[in-house]
C-alpha cells in the first residue's frame, strides 16, 4: 500500500467544523506534508505549461475565428504547416479539446458578471454591428441570420467566453510557473506557502480589466468595452471555479443522458461533476475530457514529480491516475487560495461584525466542500 492511494482507517477526512476552523485560522485545507508540497507544486508547474498553450490558443481563436462557420484550423495558433498538421492528426500535440470543454462548462452554466453582460443592450448592439459588417461578404451568414436571428449572437457569446477564458488562463499560467520558480528558490516551503502564493496572485490580479475588441472592415468594435467594468476575479475567475471546480458537466459514456433514466439532475446548480468531486479514474478514452488534460500534463511533468511517481502507486503503469490525484489536491489548494483572497474581512480582525461575516462566508464555502472528495485532503 502507498500513502497516496490508500489511507489508514485512523485517518478520516476533515469534517465541517474542521474545515471552517482551517479557513478561519489560515490553515490549508490540504494536509501540510512534504509529499503534498512536492506533488502540488510540480503538478501545477506542468499545468502552468499546459495553460500557457491553452491561453494562447483561446486568445487566438477570439482574434481570428469570429463567426467562422468552419473553424477547422482553430488549433493552429502557432501557424499552419504540414509538419504541424501531421502532429495534430497523430495526437502529438496539446489537447485543446479539454480547454473547449472548460469553456463550454462556463458558457452553459452562465454565472457571474460576464454572463450577465452577454445579455445586456450594449453587447447586443455590438453583435448587431458585427453581423451587419460580416454578412456583407458572407451570404451564408446573411441567410442563417435571416432564418435564425438568435444564432449569430449566441456564437459571439460563445467566442467571447473563449477569449475571456484565455485571458484568465494567462494569469493562472504565469502564477503557477512563478510558484514553481519560488519553490526551487526555497521561497515556497510548505502547502501553506502554496495557498498564500495563489491567494496573493489572485488578489493582485483581481481588478485587472477583462476587455475584448475586434477589427472588422477597418472598424474597431468593442465586444467587452472597458466601461462594462468586467474584472478578472469577480467576473471570470469565480465563475470558472463555480463551473469547472464544482458543477462541471456529465461525461458522455459515464452516465445516461436519457431523461427517463433520471441519472442527471434537471437543476444545473445541483451538478456535482466538477474537478473537486471527480473520482481519479482517467480512462484515456476519447469521451472523457480530463483524460486529455492528464495526458497534456504527463508530457510536461517535472523530473522531480516523475521520479516520485516511480516509487508510488504502480509507477508508470497508473501514472495518469496518480497525476489526477495530485491535480485534484492542487485544485483544492487553488480553491483554498480563492476563498482566502475573497474573505470579506482580514482574518485577524477583532471586530465582532467582521468576524461574523467571515464565519458566514467560510460556512457557505464549506457547505459546498462537504460533498467533494475530502479524502484527498488527508
Per residue in 250-269, pLDDT (tens digit) is: 877 778 888 898 899 989 88
pLDDT score for 152: 97
Neighbours of 250 (CB within 10 A): 15
**Neighbouring-strand partners of residue 231:** 209
Closest Cα partner for 237 from 112, 120, 356, 352? 112
What is the rounded distance in angstroms from the CA atom of residue 69 to the CA atom of residue 73? 11
Determine the average pLDDT of the residues in 183-199: 98
| Mean pLDDT estimate for the chain | 92
Q: What is the pLDDT of residues 39-95, one digit of tens each?
A: 999 999 999 999 999 999 999 999 999 999 999 999 999 999 999 999 999 888 999
pLDDT score for 257: 87
Whole-angstrom Cα Rg for the chain = 22
Q: What is the pLDDT of residues 296-308, one digit of tens each?
A: 999 999 999 999 9
pLDDT score for 5: 42
* Sign (positive or negative) of CA dihedral 366, 171, 160, 73: negative
What is the rounded distance in angstroms from the CA atom of residue 52 to the CA atom of residue 68? 24
**Band of pLDDT at residue 282, cut at 50, 70 and 90:** low
Closest Cα partner for 212 from 62, 371, 343? 62
pLDDT score for 289: 72
CA 189 to chain centre: 25
Given a cut of 90, is residue 336 above it in pLDDT? Answer: yes
Beta-carbon contacts of 181 under 8 Å, excluding residues fewer than 6 positions away, are none
Given a cut of 70, is residue 283 above it in pLDDT? Answer: no
The whole-model pTM stands at: 0.93
Given a cut of 70, is residue 102 above it in pLDDT? Answer: yes
Specify whether the CB–CB gap between 320 and 291 falls below 8 A: yes
Closest Cα partner for 273 from 295, 251, 256? 251
Which cell numbers hold the place of 155?
456564437
CA 278 to chain centre: 14
Given a cut of 70, is residue 359 above it in pLDDT? Answer: yes
* Local structure of 21: helix, strand or coil: helix
Q: What is the pLDDT of residues 205-246, one digit of tens each?
A: 999 999 999 999 889 999 999 999 999 999 999 999 999 999
pLDDT score for 1: 33
Q: What is the pLDDT of residues 1-31, one digit of tens each?
A: 333 443 444 589 999 999 999 999 999 999 9
Neighbours of 335 (CB within 10 A): 23
What is the rounded distance in angstroms from the CA atom of residue 377 to the CA atom of residue 70? 44
Closest Cα partner for 100 from 169, 13, 162? 162
Closest Cα partner for 172 from 78, 56, 55? 55
Closest Cα partner for 273 from 286, 297, 254? 254
- Alpha helices, H only, the chain: 16-24, 34-64, 82-90, 96-109, 112-117, 121-135, 139-147, 151-184, 191-205, 232, 238-240, 289-298, 303-310, 319-341, 352-369
pLDDT score for 3: 39
Amino acid at each position: 500500500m502507498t500513502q497516496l492511494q490508500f489511507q489508514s482507517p485512523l485517518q478520516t477526512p476533515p469534517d465541517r467544523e474542521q474545515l471552517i476552523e482551517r479557513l478561519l485560522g489560515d490553515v490549508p485545507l490540504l494536509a501540510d506534508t512534504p509529499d503534498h508540497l512536492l506533488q502540488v507544486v510540480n503538478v501545477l508547474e506542468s499545468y502552468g505549461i499546459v495553460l500557457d498553450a491553452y491561453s494562447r490558443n483561446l486568445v487566438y481563436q477570439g482574434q481570428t475565428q469570429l463567426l467562422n462557420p468552419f473553424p477547422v484550423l482553430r488549433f493552429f495558433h502557432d501557424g499552419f504547416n504540414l509538419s504541424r498538421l501531421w502532429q495534430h492528426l497523430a495526437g502529438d500535440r496539446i489537447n485543446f479539446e479539454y480547454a473547449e470543454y472548460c469553456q463550454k462548462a462556463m458558457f452553459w452554466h452562465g454565472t457571474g458578471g460576464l454572463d450577465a453582460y452577454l445579455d445586456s443592450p450594449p453587447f447586443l448592439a455590438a453583435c448587431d454591428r458585427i453581423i451587419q459588417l460580416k454578412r456583407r461578404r458572407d451570404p451564408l451568414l446573411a441567410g442563417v441570420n435571416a432564418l435564425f436571428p438568435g444564432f449569430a449572437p449566441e456564437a459571439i457569446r460563445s467566442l467571447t467566453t473563449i477569449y475571456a477564458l484565455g485571458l484568465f488562463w494567462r494569469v493562472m499560467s504565469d502564477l503557477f510557473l512563478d510558484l514553481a520558480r519560488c519553490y526551487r528558490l526555497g521561497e515556497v516551503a510548505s502547502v501553506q506557502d502554496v495557498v498564500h502564493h495563489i491567494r496573493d496572485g489572485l488578489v493582485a490580479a483581481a481588478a485587472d480589466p477583462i476587455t475584448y475588441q475586434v477589427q472588422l472592415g477597418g472598424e474597431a468594435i468593442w465586444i467587452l468595452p472597458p466601461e462594462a467594468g468586467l474584472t478578472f476575479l469577480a467576473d471570470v475567475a469565480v465563475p470558472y471555479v463555480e463551473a469547472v471546480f464544482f458543477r462541471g458537466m456529465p461525461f458522455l459514456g459515464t452516465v445516461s443522458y436519457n431523461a427517463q433514466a433520471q441519472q442527471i439532475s434537471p437543476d444545473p446548480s445541483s451538478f456535482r461533476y466538477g474537478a473537486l468531486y471527480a473520482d481519479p479514474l482517467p480512462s484515456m478514452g476519447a469521451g472523457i475530457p480530463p483524460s486529455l488534460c492528464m495526458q497534456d500534463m504527463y508530457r510536461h511533468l517535472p523530473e522531480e514529480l516523475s521520479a516520485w511517481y516511480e516509487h508510488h502507486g504502480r509507477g508508470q503503469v497508473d501514472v495518469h491516475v496518480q497525476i489526477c490525484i495530485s491535480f485534484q489536491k492542487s485544485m483544492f489548494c487553488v480553491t483554498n487560495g480563492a476563498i482566502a483572497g475573497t474573505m470579506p474581512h482580514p482574518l485577524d480582525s477583532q471586530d465582532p461584525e467582521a468576524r461574523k461575516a467571515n464565519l458566514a462566508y467560510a460556512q457557505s464555502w464549506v457547505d459546498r466542500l462537504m460533498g467533494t472528495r475530502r479524502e484527498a485532503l488527508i
